[in-house]
Chain A
Amino acid sequence: MITIKKKKTGPGLKDAVEKICGAAVGVCFQCKKCSSGCPVANLAKSRPSEMMRQLHLGAGNELLESDLVWACASCETCSTRCPMGIDVAGVIDALRRLALERGAPKLAGNVPLFNRAFLRTVQMFGRTYEIGMVAAYKLGTGKWMNDTEKFPTMLRKGKISLLPPRGGDRKTVGRIFKQSKQNQGPQA
């Protein structure tokens, strides 16, 4: 059974989500194909089909705290199998964007932090710089030791580089990031 919290935070998100991703959430008839194919549904507290119905029933900002929003691996199995053609993964992307824009109080896990660290190096160098990204990410999580035992081997095998990448067109990438920031308005 799906329960919608009585204490809603703000107006329902359905319209905002549909506007961002163009999906028609209302046509979902709860066949649950998305949830049965979802690789992380068993590892998260909520399932995609539940979120679809919650959205339809008027869930507000509390939905942005759902752990599935950031546990979703963007595998798009849900969108591929939905018999109603709903882009469920697009809905999750829209929820992520709203969570970031509205500063959802609990951005479950470290995914937003990782994404920021990743994109920061792209903005700086035009391409991903793994060591810089991992350092920025670890600085944020405070978990310095995770995976460090693999670094020497990866360096030796050339799976990571010490030096940042060169040769990328940083000018164009700079303009793209600048416009992205402008699009998001002053609160971003």
Chain B
Amino acid sequence: MRYAYFPGCSAESTARDMHQSTLAVARALGIDLVEPKGWTCCGATAGHQTDHFLAVSLPAANMAKVQDLNLDMVVSCAACFNRMKVANHEIAAHAATRKQVSQALERDYDGSVKVRHFLEVLLDDVGLKVISRAVKHSLNGLKVACYYGCLLVRPPKILKFDDPENPMSLDRLVKAIGGQSLDWPCKVECCGGGLSLSRTDVVVQLTDSILDMAGRAGADCIAVSCPMCQVNLDLRQQDINQQTGKNHRMPIVYITQLVGLCLGLRPDELGFRRLMVPASTVLERVAAN
């Protein structure tokens, strides 16, 4: 199994843990990830909130590079995944957009590179059977609130990832490695995404209610697959606690970190020390078996 892996900007900063754990899990499962040379930013939320052309061209620049490698593109960041697929859709559906983009790229790109989320590779290409055979440890009944957020599932017509209201991909993985995935109502609620710095007040309110709900559902941790969700839910707990007097101490871990632990990888190979709220309860539970 060989793919072109697009790390995305956050892999070099706020989501080094996501990047590290993705690479480690891929290695452990024999998935070969090739980084396209010279990859650049997908434009993220700032891109599409500013200019449609930027929002399509910036992802396209990367997909054109991947087309040369003749591989499917695999993305671990939900935001990049979203922008890539939306750009592909726009380019394939509108000849004028394709022409404009091709002018800027100085090459034609037709929107045909297949874009996959790393979760899809784990679930569809590797498969839960193989994963459950490969695990050395179990999550040992760890109660996990699987949080999908927005960018993995919406817009569903273009992303075609999972059920947009009640996705189960993360839940299936958590169950396969011995965890207990919780039925809770905030799976696809928004954390405030890119408003983290510009409207911190909004992010604090939204993440507070998500954390509250996970707590009430009895979660030991929240599993995520998006760097923006991770940062907002993890980093903002300090602010919420200061502002509200609450005592949130909910570990926010990447699904790849959980899978990696069960595959027998060391916490430091999976970026656990980078989490703002320590995931000691998770680590202790896995170590106990």
Contacts from A to B (Cβ < 8 Å) = 20, 39-40, 43, 70-71, 73-77, 79-80, 87, 93, 96-97, 100, 109-111, 113-116, 118-119, 122, 126-128, 130, 134, 137, 146-147, 150, 153-154, 157-161, 165, 167-170, 172-173, 175-180, 183-184
8 interchain residue pairs of minimum CB distance? A169-B38, A75-B190, A114-B198, A128-B9, A115-B46, A118-B46, A76-B154, A75-B150
Query: In this complex, what residue of B is CB-closest to A130?
Result: B13
- Chain B, interface size: which category? 35 or more
A179 to B97, CA, bound (A): 13
Q: Which of B100-108, B121-129, B250-258 faces chain A?
A: B100-108
Nearest CB of chain B from residue A173's CB, rounded to whole Å:
5
Q: B179 contacts the other chain (Cβ, under 8 Å)?
A: no
Q: How far, in whole Å, are A177 and B276 apart by their CA atoms in the complex? A: 35
Instruction: From B67-75, B110-118, B199-207, give the one contacting chain A.
Output: B199-207
Q: Which of B40, B44, B273 touches A169 (beta carbons < 8 Å)?
A: B40
7 contacts between A and B (CB under 8 A): A43-B201, A115-B49, A119-B54, A130-B14, A147-B197, A165-B12, A184-B51
Q: How far is the CA of A134 from the CA of B196 in the complex (A)?
A: 11
Whether B155 contacts A76 by the Cβ 8 Å rule is: yes
Within 8 Å of chain A (Cβ to Cβ): is B43?
Answer: yes
Q: Is the interface of A mostly helix, strand, loop or mixed?
A: helix
Chain B: which residue is nearest A44 at the CB level? B202
Where chain B touches its partner, the secondary structure class is: helix
A168 touches B190 (CB 8 A): no
- How many angstroms from the CA of A77 to the CA of B39 in the assembled complex? 30
How far, in angstroms, from A147 to B193 measured CA to CA in the complex?
17
Beyond contacts A96-B50, A114-B198: 19 other A-B pairs, Cβ-Cβ < 8 A, are A39-B206, A43-B202, A74-B45, A74-B49, A74-B193, A75-B150, A76-B154, A77-B188, A96-B49, A97-B51, A97-B52, A110-B198, A122-B58, A128-B9, A157-B275, A161-B13, A169-B39, A172-B61, A173-B40
B198 touches A113 (CB 8 A): yes
